[in-house]
A and B are shown apart, each in its own frame.
Chain A
Amino acid sequence: MKLALVVSLGVNVALAVMASRNWAKRSAVPPRPVTEDHIPTQQAHRPLVPVFEPDPVTNRFNWGMIESSNYEEYVANLRAIGCPEKTVRDIIVAEVQKTYGAKSAAVPLDVKFWSCGPERQAAEREREERRSELRAESRALLQRLIGLDYATQIGERSDGLEMQAIFCFIFGPLPDHVTERVGLALEQGSSLGREIQDRSKGILLPLEKEQLSVLREQILASVQQLLSAEQFDELSRRFAALRLLDKGFSDFHVSASELRHIAGMYVSSFGPPLEGAFNSSHEEEEEGKGAPKESFEKKLEDFLGQERYAEYKRDTDSDFKNIQALAEQQALPRETAVKIYEIKTLFDAECHRLLENALLSASEFTAHLREVQDSMRSGLQQLLGDKSFELYVRQYGGSWVTNSVRP
């Protein structure tokens, strides 16, 4: 029994030592429950937790040990100490952007202050080319360091939360990492597209048009890779819907399913407008696309039927919007607005017809049009009453009724 007691006491001592070591080891790791609710905000009024106190082990570490003038080494060091990949990215993107931002700002305008004309323009072009090279260099460096084609430059990304909310609403319930990568791809397209547009000063050369077109295809392909066919279709339609609404579609009443269908027709006519969501390149291209525009309008007419298509044309016309604003302000029925618009449309058609008639002299042209104008004015006065008529002429685009008509 005595032997058993001695063995048992020995085991007790051993276990006690082991337990105390475990306990001490555990205590060295600060507890960090990771829940969003615990992230402090000004409202949370959380007590300050004591800051990190270097223990005998970590005391040997300081930031200088991982910093390096060599980016590759810096990244490798960060990874080696277990820095999460996203934090590595945050640090490196910011570092590279700042470094290249400073380099870009420091590119001199290699010309004297008192210079003008071709000399100054050549220097400005040269500086822009050098800056463009630096942007390409910084993108290549980031690609090499963190495997990310990060084209967005300082100041291009809004740090407001509104853009995030808009993104989130448009993208719908996609997984976070997919949303982030699609967002980055679109940002990249937008940034590179803007660079080409800026360089062109609004006048795109054939080569630049080609570059924009290739870029558009590349961005679309990378977004397509990230999404399923259904997700890509849905996202394309959503961007198309935004474009349509932006172009005045919001004033024409359609149901949710009709809007989705029309957005699909837009995509099938113009292609997915994804990259155009962030700059005007697509819009500009679209203006030139006569055939797609005609195809879209034809599809729309077929889908809505002639009567609703005519309503759509009217409701999205800025003249009608003006008249409608007057009607709302003066509490006039919608029918009155429609009638006024019809009168205005008739007047425009008559103007056009007379302008086409090259055999009319200037005085004959003016006399004819004055006659039309007079008859229309009395019709409008009857419809609106004196007060509203005056308001229409002064503030709501009705000056065509009273302006002296000149060819």
Chain B
Amino acid sequence: MKSARCLAFSLGLNGLLLALCLYRAFEMRQHEAFVSEMTNRTIRAIPEPSTAGESLPTSHPEMIQCFHWSQIESEDYRVYAANLRALGCPEATVRDIIVADVNEFYCRRVNELVAPVQSRFWELMANQEQFQKLVDEKGKELDALNMQRKTLLRELLGTENDHSRADELANLEAREASKEFLDFLAPVKFEQCLELEQQFDAARREVANRQPPLAQNDLQAKLKQLQENQEHELNQLLAPDEMAEYKLRKSGFANLRDRLPGFQATEDELKQLVQIQQEFSVTNVFGQQQQRERMKDLLGPERFTQFERAQNPQYQEFYEVAERFEVPSQTIAEAYEMRKVAEEEAGKVRRDKGISPENRVAMLRAIHIEIGRSLETTLGAQAFAIYHSRSGQWLDQLGGSH
């Protein structure tokens, strides 16, 4: 009797354990299917059919057996980021993965926000008042989402990572520009000076972006202080002639080198031109005349004319177009001179009271036709057509009698 009861209990236990085994096996199969699709994205785009050659992993093939991405994914971004870091994933890559993932998540939230009004596109476009109301309403929700996203990214990546890739790129470009700026220094000083530049640039950015923002006066004072500190440090680092060169390059007049289309000058001439401009920066008419004389002495009369012409907006209009069509500089200068002559002629005709209205009209039309034809021949038909459409208003007015 006792054996019979034991057998019955044992058989019962058999059934229970079998059921448990079957249940676990079923659950595991379900889970494996789920894991193979596992990602912390809930909606995924259909993967692009890859045209890339199927290259096989070449290093550490054993890892394929021992690790699967799904092991680090989590519903919780903090865990996901921590898991990536625990694996030794570089911080920049953690950032790339998390930022893209979080952005995608919030894009889906935006889609949910907009979905109810997608079918009302035409109705809303035809009723701008209603549309504006909707934009204001949804705009608030979007702002809230944006704020949430930024907060989450800060929490996950830290505030030191709170800058965009565009900012990083801008910093790189600024560094390259600094290299060009400091190219007059020997390698050791170059490096030291570059470091100093970057250090003070960072300090200036920090002051400018301080939260809460500094009052305008305080900001100016801080920036001025930084400028003085930088100059002090530079004075320690650079020899007097190097410091003079540094200051000349930093001068606001140094951008003259970017404002002389078609005008070639030596390094020495350009530096002297900037120095002269700097010298007469705050001046009167008399001073301006002196400045011109100094420049003329430096360049000689012919090249001084070229120098002045290069800065003339009317010449630059010709230059911008003609240069694209590879018209020689000399030809561009000729076109500019043609304009000057034509305008002078037209002015004379207009001012001459002895000419009858009929004759005046005829003479102005003749000038108009002649200059148009000459410019077309000089610049070429295509360049002239573009010049005419961009800057040819003076040409159209030339033929008017009034």
Contact = CB atoms under 8 A, between A and B. Distances in A.
Contacts of A200: 324
Given A91-B93, A258-B126, A117 B264 contact: yes
A116 B25 CA distance: 78
A381 interface: no
Contact of B126 (A33, A87, A254): A254
Contacts of B257: 113-116, 120
Contacts of B138: 165
B343 interface: no
A15 B184 contact: no
B87 A159 contact: no
B402 A154 contact: no
Q: Is the interface of B mostly helix, strand, loop or mixed?
A: helix
Contacts of A9: 10
A108 B121 CA distance: 49
Contacts of B117: 169
B40 interface: yes
Given A38-B75, A155-B165, A161 B100 contact: no
A389 to B, nearest CB: 29
B52 A359 contact: no
Contact of B14 (A12, A22, A86): A12
B78 A65 contact: no
B83 A259 contact: no
A63 B69 CA distance: 11
Contacts of B390: 203
Contact of A201 (B61, B75, B320): B320
Contacts, number: 375
A257 interface: yes
A43 B44 CA distance: 25
Nearest to B73: A32
Interface in A317-376: 355, 358-362, 365
B108 interface: yes
Q: Is the interface of A mostly helix, strand, loop or mixed?
A: helix
A165 B122 contact: no
A165 to B, nearest CB: 5
Nearest to B80: A52
B110 A255 contact: no
A143 B166 contact: no
Contacts of B59: 65-66, 68, 73, 77
Nearest to B104: A86
A58 B67 contact: yes
B125 A259 contact: yes
A73 B58 contact: yes
A85 B107 CA distance: 18
B282 interface: no
**Chain B interface: which size bin?**
35 or more
Interface stretch (B27-35, B187-195, B198-206, B286-294): B27-35
A143 B52 CA distance: 7
Contacts of A40: 75-78, 152
B38 A34 contact: yes
Residue of B11, B111, B310 with most partner-chain A CB within 10 A? B111
Nearest to B183: A113
Contacts of A154: 165-166, 168-169
Nearest to B179: A108
Interface of B: 3-4, 6-7, 10-11, 13-14, 17-18, 20-21, 24-25, 27-28, 31, 35-36, 38-53, 55-64, 66-79, 82-84, 86-90, 92-93, 96-97, 100-101, 103-111, 113-115, 117-119, 121-123, 125-128, 138-139, 142, 145-146, 148-149, 151-152, 155, 164-166, 168-169, 172-173, 175-176, 179-181, 183-184, 249, 256-258, 260-265, 267, 270-271, 310, 320-321, 323-325, 329, 357-358, 361, 382, 386, 390, 400-402
7 contacts: A8-B11, A12-B13, A57-B67, A94-B165, A172-B118, A172-B121, A238-B121
Given A29-B31, A52-B83, A117-B265, 15 more contacts: A1-B3, A36-B109, A80-B57, A95-B96, A117-B263, A144-B52, A146-B48, A154-B169, A160-B146, A161-B110, A165-B142, A172-B121, A256-B125, A360-B357, A362-B401
